[in-house]
Structure 1
Amino acid sequence: MISDTASGHGFVFLCCLTAFGLLLAAMGRHQADWFGAKLPHRLTLTLRGAGFTMLFVAWLIAGLVLGFGYGTIVWCGWMTIAALILIAANINRDILLKWVKRR
């Protein structure tokens, strides 16, 4: 089990960031922007399910590492930060995609 508090915070943040990335990819209007076309319905449902599962995993890690009272508050904080990062990435999508294509 994860015993180090700092690594617990890192895992919670990464799980939240991954979850919101999956949920963003599961939205039809963003699929065309990021991938050039809408994804098949079955894949969209899989992405949505994986996103919510990752949010649950993040909450579970926070609860097991920090205690469920304090861990839930930490989880909400990391979810907020992860969501803001993905909102900023989605707003600046064109710049990010140009940068990725140059590499």
Structure 2
Amino acid sequence: MMLVFALMLCVPAFACLAMAMERHQETLFGALLSAAASRVLRCAGWSALFVALWLAVAGKGWALGLVWYSGCTSLGAGIVYGLLIVFAKRMSAR
């Protein structure tokens, strides 16, 4: 069960990291966020990734946990990247 939580944490973690980038802020919000808001998003994203790592290692041990974590981060980043592409295409179509 902890492994599923690790996977579920990776998607919002990468979403926070993406929203902390100026390029994605302009795409998503139409304006830049404050430096403090970007810092909070960046800290939240990295914290969630560390918690996901802890959950994966606690669930499977260091050997398989790191492999599982690598898969979770790849899948989470891919999902966020795909959603950013879809959102940018929809915003440019308007």
Give the structure-2-normalised TM-score: 0.90
Residues of 2 paired with 1:20 and 1:96: CA distance?
Answer: 21
More helix by share: 2
Residues of 2 paired with 1:23 and 1:85: CA distance?
Answer: 13
The alignment yields a C-alpha RMSD, in angstroms, of 1.6
2:30 corresponds to 1:8? no
Matches within 5 A, 1:84-99: 84-94=78-88
Distance apart, 1:94 and its partner CA: 3.9
Instruction: Select the residue among 59, 62, 65 that pairs with 1:68.
Output: 62
Taking only the aligned residue pairs, the percentage that are identical comes to 32
Q: Mind listing any 5+ residue stretches in structure 2 that lack a counterpart?
A: none
Using CA pairs below 8 Å that are at least 6 residues apart, which structure has the higher relative contact order?
2
Residues of 2 paired with 1:9 and 1:55: CA distance?
Answer: 13
Number of residues paired by the alignment? 92
Give the structure-1-normalised TM-score: 0.82
Q: Mind listing any 5+ residue stretches in structure 1 that lack a counterpart?
A: 1-6, 98-103
